[in-house]
């Protein structure tokens, strides 16, 4: 019975994959490929966190949260989940499935792009809530680009996102560090003032 359930989910997943692939357009192809490249290795979230840390020195503890969330997500996804589930990529199973851009050599489930994007964004929003809308839109688009480009099934992205969310909550919510943005702005302003005086 369990095998039948997984088979039904697999069929639904493939049907959703096929439907989403009909959304292709010449305008979107390079845009989606660019988004996927930006999300490769999840470095974008670390770079944004480091930039915020340099601009607002009082937020460095939050920068460490982002970096730790990204690193932990990568380790769990690539060294635990992917080898365990060992799911083939769509283009490996279905030869007629077109791929836009490069073909990854790792396993398909779960999506590392989606996991890292959600984990990094969750921690990044805690670090800089004023940018939450832009961060979340970017994360969702990066995750979706993986299905659009033909390198992941929808379930890969969904479960990758759930994994990233769990790791982000663990890293950020499981610590004692808290900060008030009003206080951090005052501290940053004072630090800038001291620099200008000296």
Higher pLDDT, 188 or 15: 15
Higher pLDDT, 17 or 46: 46
pLDDT of residue 186 exceeding 70, the answer is: no
Residue with tokens 């969330």: 69
> Token pair of 167, please?
């790791």
Q: What is the mean pLDDT of residues 62-72?
A: 93
pLDDT of residue 175 exceeding 60, the answer is: no
Q: 21-25, 52-56, 59-63, 147-151: which has the minimum mean pLDDT?
A: 21-25
Alpha-carbon span 171 to 168, nearest angstrom: 5
Q: What is the mean pLDDT of residues 23-44?
A: 84
Alpha helix (H) residue ranges in the chain: 2-20, 28-39, 43-55, 60-76, 82-85, 90-93, 112-127, 132-148, 154-173, 181-197
pLDDT of residue 141 exceeding 90, the answer is: yes
Taking all residues of the chain, what is their mean pLDDT, rounded to a whole number? 82
- Give the pLDDT score at 104: 81
Residue with tokens 């851009």: 101
- Give the pLDDT score at 162: 96
Alpha-carbon span 67 to 89, nearest angstrom: 28
Q: For 83-104, how does the pLDDT look when each residue is reduced to its tens digit (9 = 90+)?
A: 999 988 888 877 667 777 778 8
pTM: 0.80
pLDDT of residue 3 exceeding 70, the answer is: no
pLDDT of residue 183 exceeding 50, the answer is: no
pLDDT band at 13 (very low <50, low <70, confident <90, very high): confident
Alpha-carbon span 125 to 95, nearest angstrom: 40
């Amino acid at each position: 019975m369990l095998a039948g359930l997984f088979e039904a989910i697999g069929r639904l997943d493939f049907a959703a994959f096929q439907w989403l692939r009909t959304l292709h357009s010449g305008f979107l192809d390079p845009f989606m490929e660019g988004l996927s490249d930006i999300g490769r290795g999840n470095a974008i979230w670390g770079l944004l966190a480091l930039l915020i840390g340099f601009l607002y020195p009082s937020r460095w503890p939050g920068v460490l949260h982002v970096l730790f969330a990204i690193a932990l997500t990568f380790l769990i996804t690539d060294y635990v989940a992917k080898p365990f589930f060992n799911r083939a990529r769509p283009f490996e199973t279905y030869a007629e499935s077109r791929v836009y851009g490069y073909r990854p050599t790792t396993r398909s489930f779960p999506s590392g792009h989606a996991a890292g994007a959600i984990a990094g964004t969750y921690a990044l929003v805690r670090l800089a809530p004023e940018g939450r809308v832009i961060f979340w839109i970017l994360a969702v688009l990066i995750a979706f680009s993986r299905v659009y480009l033909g390198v992941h099934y929808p379930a890969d992205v969904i479960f990758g996102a759930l994994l990233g969310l769990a790791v982000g909550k663990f890293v950020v919510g499981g610590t004692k560090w808290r900060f008030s943005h009003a206080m951090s702005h005052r501290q940053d302003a004072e630090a800038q003032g001291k620099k200008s005086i000296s």
